[in-house]
Structure 1
Amino acid sequence: MANVNPPRGMRDFLPADKARRERVLAVIRDRYRAHGFDEIETPVVEEYDRLHAGIGGDNEKLSFNILRRGLDAEAIRSGAEDPAVLSDLGLRYDLTVPLARFYATNHGRLPAVFRSIQIGPVWRAERPQKGRYRQFVQCDIDIIGDGTSRAEAELIVASLDTIDALGLAGGIVRVNDRRALEWMLDSFGFTDEERPGVLITIDKLDKIGPDGVAAELRERGATASAVDAFAAFLLRPQTMEHDPYGERQIRTALPEGAPDELVAHLVGLGEAVVAARPDAGEPPLQYDPFLVRGMGYYTGTIFELAHPSVSYSLGGGGRYDGMIGRFLGRQVPAVGFSIGFERIVDLVAAQQTDAAQAVVLVHDADVPVAELVAHKTTLLRDGGAVRVRLERRTKNLKALLERAAADGYTGFASVRAGDAPGATEVRPLS
């Protein structure tokens, strides 16, 4: 018997699941648009060379490549060692690289500061496991053309507003700056050549702790004096007092002598977010000097969205001022924030479609088709229903109604031959 399961790492969605996903997407789109962002769409396929231009980090290794058309067996054998010979296209592995290409193509028809929404599936050749898929949806907002902290503040406020609207109030955005990371590594004495590997190890700090980080850096052969200085900094005595996001917290978290302009940039970002959310209490930001974000194209501020209900991040992003210039030939500032849709949709409780009714009309077998259509049309037109489904009565009515409730229906009515349209009583399913 043929295998009827979807490909590994990919999923089918039943009607109730699909409806829940669409409700969440509708909220995300609504809040993003409310903050002045406009939705665009790009192809799911991009040029192979563009997807492997060295700007996608480890994701480039996970790209699904598309075989060139017209290759014969000999051409395939001769190019077996070089994917670039065999492939000229690939499925997008994120939405940022396509956005950079989109802007380079269409910048003449876009405003000087362009605020984009891009929502759609991406593909990565991951090893499938719980919570990690080969096809998943990304929800990105980006601001292109604004090199000030206003852009970061807009993205953070819009993202926090969106998860609030989804019923996930209490989110915190962890903030860092790649320039502060570079300055810190330089202050400890790590060489330029060592820094990419050092950042990979620092990114494991939450998992392996300070001792584990120091041990791995020594295994990497990093400069011994730099490792010693960094380990001493990680293990330095610290007070337990709580500092809200601000200059004191930032300077305490960094080695002495942090550049004033970097600290001022991060402080100003917090002030802007607080001004936009005056009723939120303490700033919904946390400075994390060891936040790395693995994408190699980040050039400035980076951030991750955390929520107290889970241990993993719900989104993140950062500034990538150098990417668009590769396509356009001149530098254009850009910063983006991506919400982890697949993670968020699992946290959002299933909700009713809205206050209006979604009704199942359970009818007897002998009800004429003309009467059924009249009942359905009347409910949609005059009865306040937003969805109506016809179901023939079965012996196991309970199972039928349970299935309807699982599909998002809120009420049901019984229809018999001769009943007047609109006169049937709609009763709640729960």
Structure 2
Amino acid sequence: MASVNPPRGMRDFLPVDKARRERILAVIRGRYRAHGFDEIETPVLEEYGRLHAGIGGDNEKLAFNILKRGLDAEAVRAAGGDPAALSDLGLRYDLTVPLARFYATHRAELPSVFRSIQMAPVWRAERPQKGRYRQFVQCDIDIIGDGTARAEAELLVASLDALDALGLEGGTFRINDRRALNWMLGHFGFAEGERPGVLITIDKLDKIGPDGVVAELHGRGADASAVDAFARFLGRPQTFEHRPFGESQIRQALPDGAPDEIVQDLVAIGTAVAAARPVDAGAVAEVPLAFDPFLVRGMGYYTGTIFELAHPSVDYSLGGGGRYDGMIGRFLGTDVPAVGFSFGFERLVELLESETDAGVAAVVLVHERDVPVGDLVALKAAFIGEGSRVRLEQRTKNLKALLERAASDGYTAFATVAAGQERHDLEVKPLA
């Protein structure tokens, strides 16, 4: 007998789960639209060459490729195992590459500064495990055409607003700049060619600690004097008094001599974010940013600021993003500044799984067998007209089990219906 389970790494969603996911998306979408972002939609398929153009980082290795139509055995043998000869399309592995293609296609029809929303599934040939799926939803906003700190500030403020609206107040962004990372590695003496590998190791700092990072750098053959200089920097005496986000915090966290331009760009983002955050009269705005000189983020297309969203309720990030000024130029031939942020939507769903449709009445009408269909439909229409969500259920012997199932599906109230009753005759009772 054939399996009835979905493919590994993919999931079915029961009505209550689907409703929860849509509620979260609706809140995020509403807040992003309030901040001036417009939603777009792109195809789930992109050309093979575009998905493997060297701009998607390690995700390119995880792309699901689609065989060309009409291939016969001889064509497969002739391809010699070359996927590019066998495939012409693939499922998108993120929403950023399709956005870059979309902008290149429609640039003449879009404003000079384009603020986009994309909320859609993506596919990666991951090894399925807890929290890691082959199909999952990404929830992105991007600003294309603005190379100033205003773009980062708008992204961060809008995303913090969405997080607050979901009931997760207290979020903060860890922020860094790829230019600062590159300067720092050069300051320590790492050659240009070895820096990508060094960054991969530095990205493990939270997991294996300074000693582990230094040992791995030596083990991979990185320049020994540069590794020693980096080790001395990691082991330098530090004071841990509270330093609000700003120039002092940034310079304290970097080696002496950090470029003024990079520092001032980061400071400008913090100033703008602080100005937009609500604060009590007479109080000083607390900037929900923290500079992290070792924040790396794995995507190779980042060219400037990078950031990750943290929340005190969890020890992992709830989203991330950064500036990728070079990507769109791969399609247009002319560089266009761009910066984006993506919520970790599946992680948000796990955190908010107990949320319900607050304020929306959901009523089950439990009717006797002899109630005419016309009467039931009329009663249902009356409740819907009042703004309620309504389900009709024929009364069963085990009424308790029926009501418990309705409650698990998100219904909050019920009324029993007998033949001849009208709307004003029904007593609506809470399910709790």
Q: TM-score of the superposition, structure 2-length normalised?
A: 0.97
Query: Is 1:334 aligned to 2:338, yes or no?
Result: yes
Aligned residues between the structures:
428
CA distance in 1, matches of 2:397, 2:76: 60
| Structure 2 gap segments, 5+ residues each | none
Q: Does 1:400 align with 2:402?
A: yes
Letter in 1 for 2:266: L
Cα separation, 2, equivalents of 1:64 and 1:420: 56
Contact 2:379/2:423 (<8 A) preserved: yes
Tell me which residue corresponds to 2:128: 128
Q: Report the equivalent of 1:261.
A: 261
Alignment of 1:190-205 (within 5 A): 190-205=190-205
Q: Given that residues 147 and 337 in structure 2 are in contact (C-alpha distance below 8 angstroms), is that contact kept between their aligned partners in structure 1? A: yes
Distance 2:83 2:353 in 1: 43
The match for 2:295 is 291
Q: Distance in 2 between matches of 1:385 and 1:106?
A: 40
- Deviating above 3 A after TM superposition, structure 1's stretches of 4 or more consecutive aligned residues are none
- How many angstroms apart in 1 are the aligned matches of 2:314 and 2:277? 23
Contact 1:124-1:135 within 8 A present in 2 as well: yes
Give the letter for the 1:12 counterpart. Answer: D
Secondary structure at 1:194 match in 2: helix
CA distance change for structure 1 residues 80 and 366 in 2, over 3 Å: closer, same or farther?
farther
Structure 1, unmatched stretches of 5+, are none
CA distance in structure 1 between the partners assigned to 2:424 and 2:350 by the alignment:
38
Instruction: Confirm or deny: 8 A CA contact 2:366 2:414 kept in the other structure.
Output: yes
Deviations 1:116-170 (A, max 9, x none): 0011000000011111110000010000000000000000000000000000111
Offset at 1:242? Answer: 1.4
8 A Cα contact 2:20 2:356, kept in partner: no
Give the aligned partner of residue 3 of structure 1: 3
Matched, 1:366 2:370: yes
The residue correspondences of 1:10-409 to structure 2 (distance < 5 A) are: 10-279=10-279, 281-381=285-385, 384-409=386-411
Distance 2:20 2:428 in 1: 24
2:396 counterpart letter in structure 1: T
Q: How far apart, CA to CA, are the structure 2 residues paired with 1:77 and 1:395?
A: 65
- Asked if the contact 2:100–2:328 (Cα under 8 Å) also holds between the matched residues in 1, the reply is yes
Q: Are the counterparts in 2 of residues 359 and 411 from structure 1 also a CA contact under 8 Å?
A: yes
Shift of the alpha carbon at 1:80? 4.2
Give the CA deviation at 1:236. 0.8
Q: Distance in 1 between matches of 2:194 and 2:411?
A: 59
Higher mean Cα deviation, 312-321 or 274-283?
274-283
Give 2:72's aligned amino acid: D
**Distance across 2 between alignment mates of 1:316 and 1:356:** 32
What per-residue deviation string (whole Å, max 9, x for no partner) do you get for residues 247-290 of structure 1? 11100100000011111111111111101114185211000000
Code of the aligned partner of 1:179: R
Q: Which amino acid is 1:192 matched to?
A: E
Identical-residue share of aligned pairs (%): 76
Instruction: Deviation per CA, 1:281-305: give whole Å up to 9, x if none.
Output: 5211000000001000000000000
Deviations 1:183-233 (A, max 9, x none): 000000000110010000000000011111111111111111000000110
CA RMSD after TM alignment: 1.0
Other-structure match for 2:419: 417
Secondary structure of the structure 2 residue equivalent to 1:269: helix
